[in-house]
Each structure stands twice: as structure tokens, then as C-alpha cells.
């Protein structure tokens, strides 16, 4: 639980182990959006809605899903 940087803004998320779905709700996003985490090593990771947010992420982005092709 705590404050998370999402799309450049601070979002307060409550709960013992917040998930990507919790983050989307607090960011007023639609549930079909993706949550991406920026990790300390520069890697960008797509998070599953039901899994806890990684504690070592630098920040998060909530984005509209996209596919190529």
C-alpha cells in the first residue's frame, strides 16, 4: 500500500499487496488497459492484473492495449 508514480502522477493505492487491477482502479483507468512497470535495470514489464505490484519498480504506466499486424 502506498503512493505509486503512474503516468507521471502520484496515485495512492490501498491494500496489503496492491495489484495491477488495483492500480488501474485508482488511476481511473478501464480494466482492459495494460499496466507496465519500469524496472531499475531499464526493463519494461507488462503486469498481470491479479499479481502483486513489484516493489522494486521505478514507476508504472497504464496504457491502452495494442497489437501489431
Domain ranges for the chain: 2-63
Question: Where does the pLDDT of residue 1 fall: very low under 50, low under 70, confident under 90, or very high at 90 and above?
Answer: low
Instruction: Enter the DSSP assignment of 42.
Output: S
Q: Tell me what pLDDT residue 14 has.
A: 84
- pLDDT tens for 3-57 read 888 998 898 998 889 999 999 999 999 999 999 999 999 999 999 999 999 989 9
Q: Classify the phi-psi angles of 67: left when phi > 0, otherwise alpha if psi is within -120 to 50, otherwise beta.
A: beta
Q: What cell was used for 19?
A: 495489484
Sequence-distant (6+) residues with CB within 8 A of 13 are 1, 2, 3, 4, 22, 23, 26, 53
pTM reported for the whole predicted model: 0.85
CATH of 2-63, one of 3.10.20.90, 3.50.50.60, 3.40.1160.10, 3.90.25.10: 3.10.20.90
Amino acid at each position: 500500500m502506498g503512493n505509486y508514480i503512474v503516468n507521471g502522477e502520484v496515485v495512492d493505492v490501498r491494500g496489503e499487496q496492491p495489484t495491477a487491477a488495483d492500480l488501474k482502479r485508482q488511476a481511473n483507468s478501464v480494466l482492459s488497459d495494460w499496466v507496465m512497470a519500469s524496472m531499475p535495470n531499464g526493463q519494461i514489464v507488462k503486469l498481470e492484473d491479479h499479481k502483486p505490484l513489484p516493489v522494486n519498480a521505478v514507476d508504472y504506466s497504464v496504457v491502452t492495449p495494442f497489437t501489431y499486424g
